[in-house]
Amino acid sequence: MAFLATIPTNETSSLPKYFYTFKTSYKCHQSNKIIFNKIQPTKATNTSIITLPIKLQENTITFSKPQNLVFPNFHFQEYMVSKANKINTALDDAVPLQNPIKIHEAMRYSLLAGGKRIRPILCLAACELVGGYESTAIPMACAVEMIHTMSLIHDDLPCMDNDDLRRGKPTNHKYFGEETAVLAGDALLSLAFEHVAAKTRDVAHQRVLQAIVELGSAVGSEGLVAGQIVDLLSEGKDLSVDELEYIHVHKTSKLLEAAVVCGAIIGGGDAIEVERLRKYARYIGLLFQVVDDILDVTKSSEELGKTAGKDLASNKATYPRLMGIEKAKEFACELVAKAAEELGWFDESRASPLYHLAGYIASREN
């Protein structure tokens, strides 16, 4: 398995900013818990537990690099609600209901339809991790969500995945018609870049430009579009795990990666910090898709808020199909561990949201 062999690295021989000589372990238990441990011989083990409802066999991974995985008292649910509320308010302001009414109704219909807001929250968390301010990253966070919404609108079209349900509601083309849905997605894509360029404040122009380039590359013919076209061309074909990984790294991981990397760039992160966060994001981006594949065969349409079992019905390659359910769950466990390893080089209090977000992605049920 390639296992993200294409992730760029920027390693140095110097010690990281936060260096600890503790042995770190990551466990996926039969008790359905993910536990991040930091073990110091002279002290009791500190742990922070994130529930993982996916049942996993005992699987312990010991990291070879020094890590710092102790969480402070962090209220993750409160954090998610607070960030999501700020993002929802900013999105509402960014796309007012104005003429032409129909196109703006269609844009708002999908953009404000709810959702977990994982990508924009990751953007804000990465910005704050490297010492930036939330307010500076809000425009970028909104742009990422606009692009994500565009991809959902287009992905649901009859010529693509042909889906009728999204976030528990009729898909955009079912409600407004295919022509309007295509235009609504186009409008959100163009607005995303306009919004970042026009609304970002108190950030060096070079950093804004760098972030825009990063975001653009994640969406184009070497990013999301690459994954989408290969996915379409692969329907009904037998794929290897490496080929499936290519599809999902591009179709799903690239935009999630851009959310994290752009947040770090806007927040003032240096090259090493940005590359560590890139690797973290690539792991959790693939994790998101592995879990998605598992949920598609284990949950109902009502539970998912979208049509369940579509991948199986259309004979698409998925991780459970190629690896089996148990091996897919073990792979998800390994991806969380790899993501956590990249965060071990950062201050634990600032990195706490990203640790918990990795666990949240692993444990989500829709």
CATH number reported for the structural domain that contains residue 317 in this entry: 1.10.600.10
Residue 4 lies in a domain: no
**Separation of alpha carbons 328 and 318, rounded Å:** 9
User: 86 falls in which pLDDT band (50, 70, 90)?
Assistant: very high
Both tokens assigned to 339: 């993501």
Residue 19 lies in a domain: no
Residue 201 lies in a domain: yes
10 Å CB burial of residue 89 (0-12, 13-18, 19+) is exposed
**N-terminal to C-terminal alpha carbon distance within the chain:** 27
Q: What is the pLDDT of residue 298?
A: 76
Q: What is the pLDDT of residue 33?
A: 42
User: 72 falls in which pLDDT band (50, 70, 90)?
Assistant: low
Q: What is the number of domains present in the chain?
A: 1
Q: What is the pLDDT of residue 323?
A: 86
Inter-residue contact 63 to 25 (CB < 8 Å): yes
- If you average pLDDT over residues 179-206, what whole number do you get? 98
Residue 339 lies in a domain: yes
**Separation of alpha carbons 262 and 214, rounded Å:** 7
Q: What is the pLDDT of residue 311?
A: 62
pLDDT(299) > 80? no
Residue 221 lies in a domain: yes
**Separation of alpha carbons 73 and 343, rounded Å:** 17
Q: What is the pLDDT of residue 3?
A: 54
Beta carbons within 8 Å of 327's beta carbon, 6+ residues apart? none
Q: What is the pLDDT of residue 324?
A: 87
Which structural domain range is residue 297 located in? 75-363
Question: Is pLDDT larger for residue 336 or for residue 68?
Answer: 336
Helix axes 254-266, 224-234, angle to 10 degrees: 170
Residue 8 lies in a domain: no
- Longest Cα separation, the chain: 67
Query: Chain-wide mean pLDDT for the chain?
Result: 81
pTM of the predicted structure, to 2 decimals: 0.81
Question: Is pLDDT larger for residue 36 or for residue 340?
Answer: 340
Identify the bridge partners of residue 49 per DSSP, sorted by sequence position.
35
Of 32-41, 145-154, 178-187, minimum mean pLDDT range: 32-41
pLDDT digits (tens, 9 = 90+) for 215-225: 999 999 999 99
pLDDT digits (tens, 9 = 90+) for 102-154: 999 999 999 999 888 999 999 999 999 999 999 999 999 999 999 999 999 99
Both tokens assigned to 224: 């999301």
Identify the bridge partners of residue 59 per DSSP, sorted by sequence position.
28
pLDDT(25) > 50? no
